[in-house]
Chain A
Amino acid sequence: QSALTQPASVSGSPGQSITISCAGTTSDVGRYDLVSWFQQYPGKAPKLIIFEVIKRPSGVSDRFSGSKSGNTASLTISGLQTEDEADYYCCSYAGTSRYVLFGGGTKLTVL
């Protein structure tokens, strides 16, 4: 069981918007504005797409956005494209004892 809870799968049609949730606790997601999101294609290394809850690295599409409310962070992908079909992982800083925690990952299917 992963430390952060994500839905196992989500799906959407091209052009639609989807949101992936990442539930943590008051010791991690709720305590620090240090939530990241990663996109991973099969057989490839993960790629950072959101950091510090809402920031996007240079080169990442503005269709990707992050937010947080209480102990739950969210990743929203708007204007879904077939190339967005991948696995998505959230990650949160959790203090020096555990450092960072990952969610179990969410498989996005673009129908």
Chain B
Amino acid sequence: QEHLLESGGGLVKPGGSLRLSCGVSGFSMRGYFMDWIRQAPGKGLEWISYISKTGSTIYYADSVKGRFTISRDNAKNSLYLQMDSLRVDDTAVYYCVRENEFGGNMDSWGQGTLVTVSS
């Protein structure tokens, strides 16, 4: 049974930084594309970043480009999201997501970690 567990969320001031981690178990992460998707309180889902199996290809949503950095360590079965220059509108639950096939077949999700950006 695959399992994804995010950590690293919390309260941070505008302009601050936070690093999210996602540990996976029950499968080898090296065989999958991975994504971060977020959901602001009471709002819909927003894709924010994708990383290929080897990390050679990365995409970002315009809303986070230049501020967030996705990375992965397949040996540790871990996915990361470095978030810098955080803004109030980055407040959301951040989900670590496994992608079974390229193009949105997001078949396994973590439970999410809440990031709150507030002064």
- Show the binding face of A for B, using Cβ within 8 Å: 2, 32, 34-36, 38, 44-48, 51-52, 57, 89, 91-93, 96, 98-105
Contacts and interface: CB of A to CB of B under 8 A. Distances in A.
Interface string B93-119: 001000011011111111110000000
B111 to A, nearest CB: 6
B47 A99 contact: yes
B26 interface: no
B46 interface: yes
Given A99-B47, A102-B45, A103-B44, A45 B111 contact: yes
Contacts of A35: 104
Interface string B33-46: 00000000000111
Contact of B105 (A47, A51, A104): A51
Interface residues of B, number: 20
B59 interface: yes
B105 A36 contact: yes
Nearest to A89: B45
B49 to A, nearest CB: 9
Contact of B45 (A32, A46, A57, A93): A46
